[in-house]
Structure 1
Amino acid sequence: MDIRPVVLITGALTGIGRATAIAFAREKVRVVVSGRRVEEGRQLADELRALGTEAQFVQSDVRFEDDIRELIDRTVAQFGRLDIAVNAAGTEGEWSPVTEQTPERYAAVFDTNVLGTLLAMKHELRVMAPQGSGSIVNISSTMGSRGAAGASLYVASKHAVEGLTKSAALEAAAFGVRVNAVAPGPVETAMLNRLTTTNERKAALVAGLPLKRAGTPEELAEAIVFVASSRASFMTGEILRVNGGKTAS
């Protein structure tokens, strides 16, 4: 019987999610990666297999419960269990003042960041609770604990992710399942480039960090792997902030 842990990652095709999939593959665990783009997903699964682990891609969109249900069911059908889930699917939405926000923009952000996280945990816990074990890591943000002008919907969604994380942790503890979140600061991803729009603006943002640089997806992946692992076995309901000192003062 194969006793290697089974890891599921949503939002695995880019940025932090992709780096996390690679980090877990190097640990030689079994990995299921999920996202909306089929070709990129298959290529990532091939890359993970080349690192010497079992890997599978399942197309899914976290905004839809049927997709999430099928994702979890296919994971269990393939590997027999689910030990770790990283809910990395997210979007920054369209940033603008509160007075310019619309119900459509709200839905575009909250359906992915909040509803997607909720549905993922619902079905992950459906499997983990009967097992009596498991670890879930949600992805928040520095903005999950503070405000940011022009980013009201994204900020609110990440506050919600942290609230969901803490509430789910209290419920899941009775079943031996841990639920935590990792909250990145500025990280060198396509999302950061979209948000800052120019090299000058990105440089100004990074200059405000105590460490004077943006993080890398790989650094965030290492933090996620740690929080998910048995090395953090007494941690649940916590938000690990990995942001170059941004929230130190």
Structure 2
Amino acid sequence: MGSLTGKKAFITGAEQGIGKAVAEQLIDAGCDVYIHYFMGEEGPKELVKLAESKGQKASYGYADLTDAESANECIANAAEFLGGMDILINNVGGIIARKWLGEITPEFWKTVIDVNMTTMLNVTQSALPFLKEASNGASIVNLASLAGRSGGHSGSLVYSTTKGAVLTFTRSLAAELGEFGIRVNAVAPGLILGTRFHDQHTTKESADATVAGIPVGRAGTPDDVAKTIIFLASEYDGFVSGATIDVNGGVYRM
């Protein structure tokens, strides 16, 4: 596994939860980071202080990543601040709301697709020229979900569909970008408590029922997912590309 010291990383949606945990671990591993946020500056400010306490660089910026121009501007600012880009973490996503088939409107369908897929397309397209220039190859890690593997719980039809598409996006992009020395992988988290997603959309009763079926006997944490992402990001001379690593405590096994 390659060293991350001095590597330049961009993380989307890193103001809380999994994204923030990834940024913290990238900083601890020696990276300079640029933090995208959409809701709240408190987390990014904490991350900048952490990086500066270690003698590293960090900054942050707002963007609506569903808008191609806004995404492109954020990426350009990140690359200018960092002096390039070696690592891209596509973390942004969300269920928006639980809606059953008969409740899904065209507007809701488009919103969930934009949040989970259009953001990833806009960011990755904008970052591609900088990733191609990375001297020792580059790494993209996409956030999928157990829902994309299993279909998710009732009311998550659109979300689960988009997360399944992220898995295919990852495999296809790995084939397309390999010739440029860019590896593309994904992680598919299961129940990860301590995130805005589950705080808003998962009841305690639902979480307890899910935990009861997890072989390791507990829910996951943002740090559990972040550790896997750090591995995928740091494998600079490695042979892992087009893969999805499941982080779910053994509840889903392939």
Aligned partner letter, 2:141:
V
Q: 1:99 aligns with which of 94, 97, 102?
A: 102
Q: 2:225 aligns with which of 220, 227, 246?
A: 220
Q: 1:10 aligns with which of 3, 9, 12?
A: 12
1:38 CA displacement: 5.2
Matches within 5 A, 1:113-124: 113-124=116-127
Query: 1:37 and 1:52, CA in 2 relative to 1: closer, same or farther beyond 3 A?
Result: farther
1:33 CA displacement: 0.5
Aligned partner letter, 1:227:
L
Could you say which residue in structure 2 is the equivalent of 1:108? Answer: 111
Give yes or no for the alignment of 1:201 onto 2:203.
Answer: no
| Structure 2, gaps ≥5 residues long | none
Q: 2:57 aligns with which of 54, 57, 77?
A: 54
* Worse-matched range after superposition: 181-190 or 230-239: 230-239
Matches within 5 A, 1:32-47: 32-37=34-39, 39-40=41-42, 41-47=44-50
1:130 CA displacement: 3.8
Moved over 4 A (4+): none
Aligned residues: 246
Aligned partner letter, 1:83:
D
Aligned partner letter, 1:196:
T
| Contact 2:93–2:115, Cα closer than 8 Å, also in 1 | yes
Superposed CA offset, 1:191-237 (max 9, x none)? 1232222x222111111111121011011111100011126721111
CA distance in structure 1 between the partners assigned to 2:73 and 2:11 by the alignment: 14
* Worse-matched range after superposition: 40-49 or 235-244: 40-49
CA distance in structure 2 between the partners assigned to 1:24 and 1:227 by the alignment: 12
| Structure 1, gaps ≥5 residues long | none
Q: 1:136 aligns with which of 132, 140, 159?
A: 140
Aligned partner letter, 2:210:
L
CA distance in structure 2 between the partners assigned to 1:8 and 1:227 by the alignment: 14
| Contact 2:97–2:201, Cα closer than 8 Å, also in 1 | no
Give yes or no for the alignment of 1:156 onto 2:169.
Answer: no
* Worse-matched range after superposition: 85-94 or 230-239: 230-239
| Contact 1:25–1:52, Cα closer than 8 Å, also in 2 | no
CA distance in structure 2 between the partners assigned to 1:207 and 1:138 by the alignment: 28
Matched residues, percent identical?
34
| Contact 2:138–2:236, Cα closer than 8 Å, also in 1 | no
Superposed CA RMSD in Å reads 1.7
Could you say which residue in structure 1 is the equivalent of 2:234? Answer: 229
CA distance in structure 1 between the partners assigned to 2:47 and 2:107 by the alignment: 32
Aligned partner letter, 1:136:
I
Superposed CA offset, 1:160-215 (max 9, x none)? 11111111111100111001001101001231232222x22211111111112101
Query: 1:114 and 1:184, CA in 2 relative to 1: closer, same or farther beyond 3 A?
Result: same
Task: Tell me the TM-score normalised to structure 2 length.
Answer: 0.91
Q: 1:244 aligns with which of 242, 249, 254?
A: 249
